[in-house]
Each structure stands twice: as structure tokens, then as C-alpha cells.
Structure 1
Amino acid sequence: MAALNLKYEPQIFADTSHMSREEWLRTRRDGIGGSEASIIMGVSPFATRRDLYYDKRGIKPANMDPEEENWVAKEVGNRLEELVAVMFSKKTGLEVFPDKHMYFHPLFPFMKADLDFEIYLPTGKKGILECKTTNYNCQYKWHDNAVPVNYEWQCRHYMAVMNVDVVYIACLYGNNDSEYFIRKIERDLDIEQELIKAEQEFWENYVQAGVEPPYTEAPDLVLESLRKFVGPADQKLPPITITADEKGKLEQYLALAERKAKLDKERREIEKEQKEISIPFVEQLGQCCQAVITDGSVAYRILYNPTNRKTVKKENITKLENLYPEAYADVVTESVSRTFRIRKEAA
């Protein structure tokens, strides 16, 4: 790709101020949005490029979850955006204003940007504010001035579309103004060129060409994608035949299974030995939950705390279903999983 042409102005693609969520989702299918940049770059923790391809082509999952698992977190994030922006303005003194438009890059029109807020910078130029929320346990992702990599690609996508040099990203992770991160990301044209090239290849070679991109992401992400799109298991279907060329992979899988079994056996033996060592200490503790041993230079603290766990026996779940079907429907969710195994047999 030649050197980037920076003499351009972002173009308005749509007014989002009165769009329903369904309309907004349909509009996004006409290009690549900022939150999708990390998927194309292969670092999204949530989706594969194949998932994104299906979305752009309007292909719905065969296994549709009746209710999105993380819908509460998303709703909290949406509702707190304005608060995060107000806090940012108070902390920095920068003027912030919402922008209810979806933009596109005039040179790469498949690149879209739907911003949270824009900023007036002291230089007279505009910047972008991206607002995030997270829970207390995920704050470590922001430590040491870091930005989660999927958010960084989102911000770099926005800088490219809007032709601006800086994005501030603000994240609230608690319920007071000290539990708040502000990060500044400056434009890097080399990285931006890499991003544009990857997005252009994805849009032209896969979405527009109608070609499914290969799976290259982490196994768990790929298997979840396959689960969503292949449809439910049907045990009445006859076995399919796979070519003998795949034999080597099957033998490798079996070898790994054997190795895992040996490691599991070793783990069980280690756990047994640990339990044997713990017996005299547990006996001394009795009802007490802590003990301390010290030799003058090192102290060892032993903890033997109770753990409470509520379980429901399988037969009681059946009883609940039969006696109180309405309560059962309210509190019990059923899920289906599939287990992959290989069994070696004589031909």
C-alpha cells in the first residue's frame, strides 16, 4: 500500500440520533466499525473473523441464545457513557460533546466510525473520547498505563476514519471518581497503514467476494463459533467419511490424550501425597481455621477455611420440574454441549 493520503475529511454516512438498535445494527453491516477492527487483527477476545463475515453477510447463527449472557454489562456500559464523559471533562478540563453520526472514510469507504464523543483540544483541533466501563476484577487490564488491545485497535480505526491525531479512552471500574482510568492514544501512521490493509483485504477478499475467511483464532473461540453456526447435534444422521489423509492428525490427538492421561495420573498421585501430609495438621486444627508455624526466620500460615456451596441433586431437579413447572422454568436453564473423542478400532 502506498503512503497514506491525509488530505481528507470524514464523510457522514448516517444520522444515528433516532435509530433503533435494529436499524443501527443493519447500518453497521455496510462496512467495518471500530469495535470490529480487533476481530480483523486477530486479537478480539469475543469473536472470530468468520463470525464477523457471517454478520456482514446477514447469516444468523443456527444456535441462537434466547438471551444474551452479557446483556446487563452492555446495558450498564451504554447507560454510563455520559457519566464517564462528564467525569473526563471534570478531570481534564477538556470540552466534550456527543456526536450522533456514523462516518465513513472517503478513501476507504468500507471503514465506518460511530463515535461516543468528540473533544475540543487546546490546539484548536478535534480529538475523540471513547468511554468504557469494566468490573473491579478486570481493572488489571488497565494497569501500568495499558489499554486492552481490542480497545486500542478500535481507537486507531477511529483516528483513521476521522483523520485525527489523538483519542482519549476513559474507563470507570468502580462507583467513585478515583476508580477511573484515562489513557491517551496518539496516531501512528505505520500501524494505521497495517490496519487499513488488513480491513481492506477482509472486506474485498472475503465479504464482497462471498468467501468464508479461515479460522486462525484461539481454539476455544473457534469451537464456540462452530457451535453457533453448524446447528444442533442430530444423532440420527449417518456417520460421515473423512479421507485417510487426516490419519496423522488423529494419531497426534491420541498421543496427546495418552500423554494427558499420564499427567493426570501424576497429578492425582501428587494430590494424594499432599492430603497425606495434611492429615496431622488437620487433626491438630480441629474446629480452628488457622495455624501459624515459625522457626524465627520464616512463618508458615495454615488456612483451613470452610467453603459453602449450594447444589441440587439431579433427582430433585426432576422433582422440581414435575411438581413446580413454573418455578422450574424460571430458575433452571438447560444447555447442550458436545464432547470430541477419538476411538481407534480395527478396520
Structure 2
Amino acid sequence: MSLGTNLDYSPSVLTDTEGLTEEEWLSYRRLGIGGSDAAAIMGQSPFCTKRDLYYDKCGMKPVLDEEESNWVAKEVGHRLEDLVAEIFSRKTGLKVYPIRKMFKHPLYPFMLADVDFFIELPDGSTGILECKTTNYNCQDKWANDTVPINYEYQGRHYMAVMNLNVVYFACLYGNNENEFIIRKMDRDLETELILIEEEENFWLENVQKKVEPPYTEKPDLVLESIRRFCGPAEVDADEVKLGSTHAKSIEKYLELKEKKSSVDAESKRLESEMKTVYAGIVEEMGISCKATLKTGTENYIVTYNPVYRTGIDKKNLERLKLQHSDIYEDYVSVTESRRFSVKKGAA
């Protein structure tokens, strides 16, 4: 599969997006791969696995239909798109405009693009503008003139579909126009071809053939995906007889657990030794939270700050449940986590 040197193409329009409902828009998205899907296919999404994306494209809903924990951040990002575009335009002097259509690649029709905004560049050519928002503490993800990897793949996907050579990212991370990041990314055909190959393989070999892709992502992301699609634990469910293929995994787990126990024991010993070392300093500080020490060559600042946690202890929680069950039911929620354990016994 190769584009070769033929870059003389224009995207076709899949549908107008003006006036589409959220569900209608999502149904069109499931007809192919969008820009925000690209990172998951490349194993670089911080939010979902390739398996999650596969389930979505096949119309399979998770068993645990939970409220998204980051729904506020997503809604803020959506509502501030126009503002971010306006700030970008004011800072750069470039004309920015939307085209409310969903496009598809003429050579790879499974590749879709619903672009935030387009840019009229000084040389008369067209660029892409992707508008982002983040919080103040996450601005380091854009450090050293970089673009977060998941956004990079999104931009490269859009350039491929639209046959355009530049994409700008504009990110607002504060509440004024100076807390604003602008990054420019040029087209890279070599990286683009790799991305197209991966997307084509995913679409043809997984989605079209209904073959689940393997889990290859970070374990926390994988375990959350499994929990979401398998559902909550059932204590009375039948015991599962594992196949012999899992034997090596169990032995490896036990080996790592033993190593971790050794490391944890050493960590506890060092923690105790550290407390012994600083106990005299704490005694001298008394109720103070800060102390300083100056030597001939160094200045030290010591803090011993309180940490407050608000909660209800187990005894009072039971009392609340018994005496004020209406309040208890309204304000106490139960979340599930599961603990993996292996005990080695005789065969």
C-alpha cells in the first residue's frame, strides 16, 4: 500500500454536519476512522485501547455504562473551540473559518475527517487548525515546542484525508490570551504512510472481519477496558478453569510478587531509618511547619506540613446507615475495585 508520488487528490464529502444530532454524528463516525481514533490505533491514546475502539466501531456498548469522569473537560473543550480559534486568529493575523462537513479520503474511504477549523495561509494555501484546552498543570505536555503524541497522530490523519501540508494546534490552558500555546506541524509523508497502513489493517482485518485486536497498551488502560466490557464482579459466578497457556503468566506473576515483597520490605526499612534521622529536627520545630538551615556551602528549607483528610470512620458510617438510612443512601456511593491474587497449592 502506497500513495506513491501521486498527491493530486481532493477529499470527498461524506455528510454535512450542520444540524446533526450527537447520535447521528456518532453513527457517521462509526463508518470509518476519525482523527481522534488515530492515536488508539497507534497504541498512543491515553484514554482508550485499540480493543475499545474496535468495540465502538462494531456498535458494541460497554456493560458498565458509567458517566464519563472527564465529561466536564470534554464539554469545556467543545464550548471553547470558537474562543480558541478567535485567540489564534488575533495572535497570528490569519483568517480562520469552519466547514461543517465530514470528509473522507478518496483512496482510503475508511479515513474520515471532521476538522475544527481551516486556515487561510499567507501564500494562499489552506491549513488546518485544531483547537484544544487543558488545565494549567498539564501545559508541560506541550513543553519544548512539542505536540502531545495523541494530538500529533490526529493532525497527521487530518492532513492525509484533506491532502493539506500544515496543521496548527492552539491550546488554551488558562483564563487569558497569554496562557495560550501555538504549535505548527508540517506534513511528513513517511510517518503518514505508516499511519495509513496501521489504520487500513485495523479497519480491514479487525473491524470488517470482526476480529478483536489484542491488548497491547498500558496495563491500567487494559484492565479498565476489561472491567468496562465484562461488567461488575459476581461472587456467585461459576469458577473458571484456566487453560494451560496461562501457566507461564501465573509463574511470572508469583516471581514478580516475591521480588516486590523484597523491595517493599527494604522500602519500609529505609522509611523507618529516615524517620529516625529527622525525628530530632521535628522535635526542635515543634508546632512550626517550616525551618531553615544555612551552612557554609548550602541553604536548606525544611517543611513539616499537615495533611488533612475529611471522612467518616467505619464505626460512624455504620451508625449513619442504621440511624439515618435516607441520608446514607443519598450521599454514600459504592465503587468496585478488584484485587488479583494467586496462591500456590499442591496439584
Q: TM-score normalised to the size of structure 1? A: 0.96
| Aligned counterparts, 1:1-347, within 5 A | 1-2=1-2, 3=4, 5-65=6-66, 67-325=67-325, 327-347=327-347
- What is the letter of the counterpart of residue 16 of structure 1? T
- What is the letter of the counterpart of residue 29 of structure 1? R
Query: Are residues 315 and 297 of structure 1, via their aligned partners in 2, closer, same or farther at CA, if it must alter by over 3 Å?
Result: same
What's the RMSD between the two structures over aligned residues?
1.4
SS at match of 1:26: helix
CA distance in 1 between counterparts of 2:165 and 2:325 reads 59
Shift of 1:243: 2.7
CA distance in 1 between counterparts of 2:216 and 2:133 reads 29
Task: Provide, for residues 185-207 of structure 1, a one-character-per-residue CA deviation record: whole Å limited to 9, x for no partner.
Answer: 11111111111111000000000
Q: Is the 8 A contact 1:96 1:118 kept in 2?
A: yes
SS at match of 1:222: helix
CA distance in 1 between counterparts of 2:176 and 2:82 reads 15
Percent of aligned pairs with the same residue? 53
Question: Which of structure 1's runs of 4+ aligned residues deviate more than 2 A?
Answer: 243-249, 314-333
Higher mean C-alpha displacement, 271-280 vs 291-300 = 291-300
Task: Provide, for residues 147-182 of structure 1, a one-character-per-residue CA deviation record: whole Å limited to 9, x for no partner.
Answer: 000000000000001110111110000001110000
Shift of 1:81: 0.4
CA distance in 2 between counterparts of 1:330 and 1:165 reads 54
CA distance in 2 between counterparts of 1:34 and 1:72 reads 21
Unaligned runs of 5+ in 1: none
- What is the letter of the counterpart of residue 55 of structure 1? D
- What is the letter of the counterpart of residue 47 of structure 1? C
Q: Is the 8 A contact 1:10 1:106 kept in 2?
A: yes
Q: Is the 8 A contact 1:11 1:104 kept in 2?
A: yes
CA distance in 2 between counterparts of 1:157 and 1:297 reads 54
Task: Provide, for residues 269-305 of structure 1, a one-character-per-residue CA deviation record: whole Å limited to 9, x for no partner.
Answer: 1111111112111111111222222221112222112
Task: Provide, for residues 283-335 of structure 1, a one-character-per-residue CA deviation record: whole Å limited to 9, x for no partner.
Answer: 11111222222221112222112222212212333444454455444533321
CA distance in 1 between counterparts of 2:52 and 2:229 reads 9
Task: Provide, for residues 209-263 of structure 1, a one-character-per-residue CA deviation record: whole Å limited to 9, x for no partner.
Answer: 1110111111111111111111221221222222334323212211111111111
- What is the letter of the counterpart of residue 129 of structure 1? L
Query: Are residues 337 and 298 of structure 1, via their aligned partners in 2, closer, same or farther at CA, if it must alter by over 3 Å?
Result: same
Higher mean C-alpha displacement, 281-290 vs 232-241 = 232-241
CA distance in 2 between counterparts of 1:341 and 1:236 reads 18
Higher mean C-alpha displacement, 234-243 vs 256-265 = 234-243
Q: TM-score normalised to the size of structure 2? A: 0.96
CA distance in 1 between counterparts of 2:324 and 2:153 reads 50
- What is the letter of the counterpart of residue 166 of structure 1? V
Q: Is the 8 A contact 1:4 1:193 kept in 2?
A: no
- What is the letter of the counterpart of residue 27 of structure 1? Y
Task: Provide, for residues 105-133 of structure 1, a one-character-per-residue CA deviation record: whole Å limited to 9, x for no partner.
Answer: 11100000001111111111111110000
Q: Is the 8 A contact 1:105 1:112 kept in 2?
A: yes
Query: Are residues 330 and 138 of structure 1, via their aligned partners in 2, closer, same or farther at CA, if it must alter by over 3 Å?
Result: farther
CA distance in 2 between counterparts of 1:319 and 1:129 reads 57
**How many residues are aligned here?**
346
Shift of 1:4: 5.2
Shift of 1:74: 0.6
CA distance in 1 between counterparts of 2:70 and 2:230 reads 22
SS at match of 2:171: strand
Query: Are residues 325 and 112 of structure 1, via their aligned partners in 2, closer, same or farther at CA, if it must alter by over 3 Å?
Result: farther
Query: Are residues 256 and 152 of structure 1, via their aligned partners in 2, closer, same or farther at CA, if it must alter by over 3 Å?
Result: same
Shift of 1:99: 1.5
CA distance in 2 between counterparts of 1:143 and 1:330 reads 44
- What is the letter of the counterpart of residue 57 of structure 1? C
- What is the letter of the counterpart of residue 221 of structure 1? L
Higher mean C-alpha displacement, 205-214 vs 302-311 = 302-311
SS at match of 1:271: helix
Shift of 1:82: 0.3
